[in-house]
Copies of this chain bind each other. A is one copy, B any other.
Amino acid sequence: MQRLESHACFGGRQEVWSHPSTTLRCDMRFGVYLPPQAEQQACPVLYWLSGLTCSEQNFIAKAGAQRYAAHHGLILVAPDTSPRGEGVADAEGYDLGLGAGFYVNATQAPWSSHYRMYDYVVDELPALVDAHFPSSTARAISGHSMGGHGALVVALRNPGRYRSVSAFAPIVAPSQVPWGEKAFSAYLGADRAAWQAWDASELVSSAAEKLPLLVDQGEDDEFLASQLQPERLQAACTAAGHPLRLRLQPGYDHSYYFIASFIGEHLAHHARALKG
């Protein structure tokens, strides 16, 4: 573990760390915000999964989440969105390969040797965080777009592990939209049956735990109709009796200005679950 950045921020510290990942077989970076409370006591952790093209930097620089994390006493952990470095496969386009790990475990060559972001986010990263920072065992997860998909899938596949989950403009049905079809075809292969385990709108129908889903979606999001389609998650939740709070936000787009506007409400939501 190597600390690359450390900045005082709202009375706590915003740091960036690098470490060799055994899961991804490359060096990985993540951002961690340590609130002022972490100097005195163990604090709950909110994991944030970012969207396509992002690194560990976007959320920590643009969301303005540290202010609320300092208020609630939450640690924020924001990993990169894919393996990176020499020997890591890539493809043309921003929506496959580097910056586009989709939080799955790839089974197909050439992706399967490095692209195991699901295992990284669920197992390796939390173990690393718990070993190096004053974290309690209370965990929550959230994310944006591809990372909103990741947050929903990670929470739904791991009953009992996260106290709360939320998402901004998530890809709720990757099996049904171009971004997901392209990524899943590459990472998981042509057999669509294998995709279901990575699709939130499929997973809610068999979720062992009815963890309420909080989803914010901008109504002027440029990807709303083509890639996001929150009505698919809504229909699946209705059919399964799974609690969903889907908030359509008039005028908001897909940018970090949207995330910044509502991240405070999401952190309050998570703080209630994490500290309740």
Contacts and interface: CB of A to CB of B under 8 A. Distances in A.
Interface in A48-106: 61-62, 64, 66-67
Nearest to A8: B251
A9 B220 CA distance: 12
A8 B220 contact: yes
A260 interface: yes
Interface residues of A, number: 25
- Is the contact region of chain A dominated by helix, strand, or loop, or is it mixed? mixed
A191 to B, nearest CB: 40
Given A61-B62, A62-B61, A62-B62, A260 B67 contact: yes
B218 A8 contact: yes
Nearest to A252: B8
B62 A253 contact: no
A260 B8 contact: no
Contact of A66 (B61, B218, B253, B260): B260
Interface of A: 7-11, 14, 61-62, 64, 66-67, 218, 220, 249-253, 255-258, 260-261, 264
Determine which residue in A8, A61, A249 has the highest number of CB atoms from chain B within 10 A of its CB, and name it: A8
Nearest to A256: B61
Contacts of A260: 9-10, 64, 66-67
A258 B8 contact: yes
Contacts of A250: 8
A218 B7 CA distance: 11
- Most chain B CB inside 10 Å of its own CB: which residue of A66, A255, A261, A264: A261
